[in-house]
Amino acid sequence: RSLQVFDQFGTKHSEILREQQLAGGSGLGGPLRYHNSVILWLQCDQAVLDKRLDHRVDSMLKAGLVEELLDFHRRYNEGRIKENALPDYTKGIFQSIGFKEFHDYLILPEDQRSSDMGEKLLKLGIENLKLRTRRYARRQQRWVTNRFIRRFDRQVPPVYPLDCTDVAQWDQKVLGPAMSIITDRLEGQTPSHKSLNNNKTENFAIPDSNTERTRYCETCERVFVGDFQWKAHMEGKKHQRVAKRKKINQLMQDPK
């Protein structure tokens, strides 16, 4: 990637990252590309959201989710057997939400899937899928909060919450406010609706800018985000080997 950046812009990747941070960015990225942008964040009560997510899983099951998983599993193993390869369910799509939860059911012989054990494993897979879907939704909420609302060290768009708990009030609580916010922004006015991140003095913990800053290793020509990745790389054997090899090559080219 760093070679592509240099070939395209004629500038080192590390220099571009520094310029982005000076222009209003941070260790997470550069400044806003479009300054008149906003984020409309649909929110609802957690209990209501959980029910909607469970219903979504039920709809996926009715639409043939299990049959699709079984078909994919069958075709994967047919190709694996032809290549005389061992099964590996520990990486790739088999670790994604939707596959991982049904693993024990999917590896059952076909004649055992309708048995008591098969029904039990299928039910357990459905319960786990619903549970992990709800957890994933919570992680998404935390991600939006941490990335856009609790960060004061970079440019971020204003985030406007819209309450979609009661869909019967969609026009009053979602569509109407959204249109009002967009209209005000297009006309250069300050929206009457308050954004979640318009008050920089709120009592939020400001993260250490070094914790998630982007660093570029010129020796290995790689980009790292965060202190942990950077420290692990700099202390790693691969970085030390590359640095040693480059030093030897430099000495050979310039023996003086």
**Model pTM score:** 0.64
Cα–Cα separations (whole angstroms), residue 48 to 57, 134, 163, 164, 248:
15, 11, 12, 10, 63
Give me the pLDDT at residue 256, please: 56
**Joined tokens for residue 255:** 């023996």
Q: Which domains, and CATH codes, for the chain?
A: 1-27+209-256 (no CATH), 48-139 (1.10.287)
- CB distance 33 to 219 below 8 Å: no
- CB distance 85 to 99 below 8 Å: no
Least Cα distance to 54 among 131, 123, 125 occurs for 131
Least Cα distance to 51 among 122, 125, 129, 134 occurs for 134
Mean pLDDT of residues grouped by 10 in the chain (256 residues)? 71 68 56 83 96 97 95 86 78 84 91 94 96 95 88 80 97 97 93 80 40 74 76 85 86 68
Give me the pLDDT at residue 20, please: 59
